[in-house]
Amino acid sequence: MHITDLVGTYTIEGSNQNEDGMAYQGTLKLSLNENNRLNAKWLIN
């Protein structure tokens, strides 16, 4: 696997691991910058 294979937009669903266990959904967008480092944008709805 190469770092370029990770680039894309992912839909995330999960729940918190505390007593409440509150569910969440979000979007994780991974891109590469000019130095081939990952940039991550995490939006929780």
Report pTM.
Answer: 0.77
Strand order in the sheet with 8-15: 8-15, 23-32, 38-44
pLDDT given at position 26: 96
pLDDT for 27 equals 97
pLDDT one-digit tens code per residue, 1-32: 999 999 999 999 999 888 888 899 999 999 99
Residue 16 confidence (pLDDT): 87
Where residue 38 falls among pLDDT bands split at 50, 70, 90?
very high
- The residue to which tokens 């990770």 are assigned: 6
Whole-angstrom distance, CA of residue 13 vs CA of residue 7: 19
Amino acid type, 41: K
